[in-house]
Chain A
Amino acid sequence: MIEVCNVSKSFGERIALNDVSFVVKEGENLVLLGPNGAGKTTTLRLLSALIKPNSGKIVYDDYQIGSIESKDMVVRKQIGFLSENSGLYENLTVLDNLLFFGELYGLDFNIAIAKIKEIAEKFDVASILNTKVKKLSKGTKQRVSITRTLLHSPKYLIMDEPTSSLDPISAKKVRDMIATLKKDNVTVIMSTHNLVEAMSLSSRILFINKRILVDITKEDLDKKIINETNRSIHIVHSPVEQKIEGIIKGDDIIEVKGINQRETIVKIKGGLDKNWEVIDALSKNNIKVYLVENYENDLENFYIKIFGEKQYGV
């Protein structure tokens, strides 16, 4: 378990994090979401013992990092860190890179070789072990990087935007790799700008901007989105004069827009139960509903609501 208690971090006069506290339980997949400069990378660097907080503490299983160098090394051995860039030595082969990091994390040469073979097979990089890193595509490099972080069987995996700058297919491959880690009960802490990725990989999401704005489990976020997302109901009605407003409560309607004489789109407020009531009422009045869709992007909308629209110029 990792406990982050009242951590603040500044670089000169620039405040990167202000009084941040949260707990990461074992096996959890925590995703940090936030705009550029929100302090996501700083948080991950603090968790990786790369930098020290100005105030507050970070505790790994009852040990406060930064207290004793030798114990910091023990904590570091339990962490697999993936930076935004691949972090691989371009002039060396994939095998040289993996061997270097495997041994650095305390694996004996023979064990490291065996482990490399095993994980390389699992993540489909076995065929490129003798290829120089500089000859690989960005996506492949990132897959090799994830392989590197897993060599020493870390308890915690910390990843800074693992799919940024990757094409959709490579990003999906990397996401699939990360998803497989759930089975191994690895605690994953990652940052991303990709909202779909956050939803697909997380068990909990921290919306962060210098401080924690929202700390929510994926389950609760799903419920929130289902209940708060406004929807469009596309209906076919007869006769033409039929008043929609008479059937649906005025409070629930955002906008009624006729497409032609028989078809209308009604934008109604979120809340799935409420939406069903509306659909039911329409059916009882012989008005056919032929399409129900979210008229606003659910998670994106939630994200903008949290971080404010001004900074995005919306």
Chain B
Amino acid sequence: MGFDKIAIMSRKDLKEIWENTYMRLTLLSFPIFITFLATLIVFSISIENRIPIFMYTNNFVYNNNLVIVAEHLVIPYFLLSVSLVPVVLATHSLIGEKYGNTIEVLLSAPITDRDILLGKIIAVFLPVTLLFMISFLSFTFLVDYGTFVMNHAIYLPDAYSILSICITGPLYAFLATTSGLIISSRVNDIKAAQQIGSIVILPVLGLLIMAQYNMGIYPMIVFSAILFILDIILFEIAVYVFKREEVLVRWSK
């Protein structure tokens, strides 16, 4: 594995993402939207002192701060953004090489399939994860500011959110990016690839439902461990299914 080649590939892709208005908008709009949506949800729940009715079922609400409860409720929204954005960017990154007629020249260069894929994954994974973390930090700051003004207290972040944002989120971003690349190496149409890629958000929807019953820190650790294993398996699958000749011949106009 050539780390220098991976870095060169990532740098080029990062520049391309940033120079493309559509991709830049995709990258920035989701975290901003989620930050404000999550803040709004937390405040509306806390101020009105109302939480979804099913949360009473496990006696959870009587033992916890309402702000924390509300925060756990919105974390899956952050995970949703960190799983959707990479699919859009990753599919565009690889199939964009076809539409830009650059794939043939890229594949003729002295760089291995593994390095190309890893370079492309990092170029998507890094900005998405970084913005995802900034987005969560902004949310935390807004909520803490609000609770400090109202109650002279700061509640966020807690261990659950730190685990979700620092471990689960990046693992999910990697999974979504790799999935996007696998799909786009088999499909040669951006829209089709993005539609198929949206399947990766299904587990997040599961998380959304589980969050209603307040999934604790241990299930989240298990979930993260599963994601980690899936990341490794999916990356190896991505390398395996990325066949230069097939990509070139199937994508030839």
Give chain A's interface residues, CB within 8 Å of chain B: 11, 45, 48-52, 69, 73-74, 76-77, 79, 81-83, 85-92, 96, 100-101, 103-106, 132
**B16:A91 contact, CB within 8 angstroms:** yes
Tell me if B100 counts as interface (CB < 8 A to partner A).
yes
**B16:A87 contact, CB within 8 angstroms:** no
Question: Closest CB-CB distance, B107 to chain A, in whole Å?
Answer: 6
Q: Which residues of A contact B111 (CB under 8 A)?
A: 73, 104
Q: Which residues of B contact A73 (CB under 8 A)?
A: 110-112
Tell me if B152 counts as interface (CB < 8 A to partner A).
no
| Complex CA distance for A49 and B11, rounded to whole angstroms | 25
Q: Pick from A11, A52, A85, A101: contact of B101, CB below 8 A.
A: A85
Extra contacts, 8 of them, besides A51-B245, A89-B100 (Cβ < 8 A), are: A11-B249, A45-B248, A49-B108, A50-B248, A79-B108, A82-B105, A87-B102, A100-B12
| Complex CA distance for A38 and B210, rounded to whole angstroms | 60
Tell me if B186 counts as interface (CB < 8 A to partner A).
no
Q: Which residues of A contact B5 (CB under 8 A)?
A: 104
| Complex CA distance for A101 and B101, rounded to whole angstroms | 15
Question: Closest CB-CB distance, B118 to chain A, in whole Å?
Answer: 14
**B248:A51 contact, CB within 8 angstroms:** yes
| Complex CA distance for A45 and B245, rounded to whole angstroms | 10
Q: Pick from A92, A101, A103: contact of B16, CB below 8 A.
A: A92
**A96:B108 contact, CB within 8 angstroms:** no
**B110:A104 contact, CB within 8 angstroms:** yes
**B12:A96 contact, CB within 8 angstroms:** yes
- A-facing residues in B62-107 (Cβ within 8 Å): 100-102, 104-107
Tell me if B158 counts as interface (CB < 8 A to partner A).
no
**A-B contacts, 27 listed (Cβ < 8 Å):** A45-B248, A50-B104, A50-B108, A50-B244, A50-B245, A76-B110, A79-B108, A81-B104, A83-B108, A85-B101, A85-B104, A86-B101, A87-B102, A87-B104, A88-B102, A89-B12, A89-B102, A91-B15, A91-B19, A91-B20, A92-B15, A92-B16, A100-B8, A104-B9, A104-B110, A104-B111, A105-B110
Q: Closest A residue to B103 by CB, please name it.
A: A87
Q: Closest B residue to A52 by CB, please name it.
A: B245
| Complex CA distance for A11 and B102, rounded to whole angstroms | 22
Q: Closest B residue to A132 by CB, please name it.
A: B19
Question: Closest CB-CB distance, B9 to chain A, in whole Å?
Answer: 8
Q: Pick from A45, A76, A86, A88: contact of B109, CB below 8 A.
A: A76
Contact with A along B217-253 (1 / 0, CB 8 A): 0000000000000000000000000001100110000
Known contacts A45-B248, A50-B245, A76 near B108 by CB under 8 Å: yes
**B244:A101 contact, CB within 8 angstroms:** no
| Complex CA distance for A225 and B244, rounded to whole angstroms | 42
**A92:B249 contact, CB within 8 angstroms:** no
**B100:A51 contact, CB within 8 angstroms:** no
| Complex CA distance for A188 and B48, rounded to whole angstroms | 76
**B105:A81 contact, CB within 8 angstroms:** yes
**A87:B20 contact, CB within 8 angstroms:** no
| Complex CA distance for A104 and B112, rounded to whole angstroms | 11
Q: Which of B20, B104, B105 has the most CB of A within 10 A?
A: B105
Q: Which residues of A contact B12 (CB under 8 A)?
A: 89, 92, 96, 100
Question: Closest CB-CB distance, A207 to chain B, in whole Å?
Answer: 24
| Complex CA distance for A55 and B102, rounded to whole angstroms | 28
Q: Which residues of B contact A81 (CB under 8 A)?
A: 104-105, 108
Q: Closest A residue to B9 by CB, please name it.
A: A104
Question: Closest CB-CB distance, B137 to chain A, in whole Å?
Answer: 30
Q: Closest A residue to B23 by CB, please name it.
A: A91
Question: Closest CB-CB distance, B99 to chain A, in whole Å?
Answer: 10
Q: Which residues of A contact B4 (CB under 8 A)?
A: 103
Q: Which residues of B contact A51 (CB under 8 A)?
A: 244-245, 248-249
Question: Closest CB-CB distance, B234 to chain A, in whole Å?
Answer: 22
Q: Pick from B8, B244, B248, B249: contact of A104, CB below 8 A.
A: B8
**A87:B105 contact, CB within 8 angstroms:** yes
Q: Which residues of A contact B112 (CB under 8 A)?
A: 69, 73
Question: Closest CB-CB distance, A128 to chain B, in whole Å?
Answer: 17
| Complex CA distance for A50 and B101, rounded to whole angstroms | 15
Q: Which of B100, B102, B104, B244 has the most CB of A within 10 A?
A: B104
Known contacts A51-B245, A104-B8, A77 near B110 by CB under 8 Å: yes
Known contacts A50-B244, A51-B249, A96 near B105 by CB under 8 Å: no
